[in-house]
Amino acid sequence: MKAKYFLLGLLLSPVALPTIADAKVSTTIFAFGDSDTGPNVTATKKGNITTITSTNTSVPIESYQWELSE
């Protein structure tokens, strides 16, 4: 009988987890740039088409949580 309740406890553990795990979280995993480095994108207009460009602009990386692969 003890073994029955013990096993019931073990079996119920994973059943209860989804309600706790349902909470969603947002995580910023990569961020770059700043507003102090001067203009670094330029939008030009040709007729009714606008092109936004930035070429070889140096930007700081604010954060990333990942390791570079070897």
Could you list the residues that contact another protein (CB under 8 A)? 1-2, 4-10, 12-13, 16-17, 20-45, 47-62, 64, 66-69
CB 43 within 8 A of CB 54: no
- Of the candidates 70, 64, 58, 69, the one whose C-alpha atom is nearest the C-alpha of residue 29 is 64
CB of 16 to another protein, least distance (A): 7
CB of 19 to another protein, least distance (A): 11
Distance, first Cα to last Cα, the chain: 55
CB of 55 to another protein, least distance (A): 6
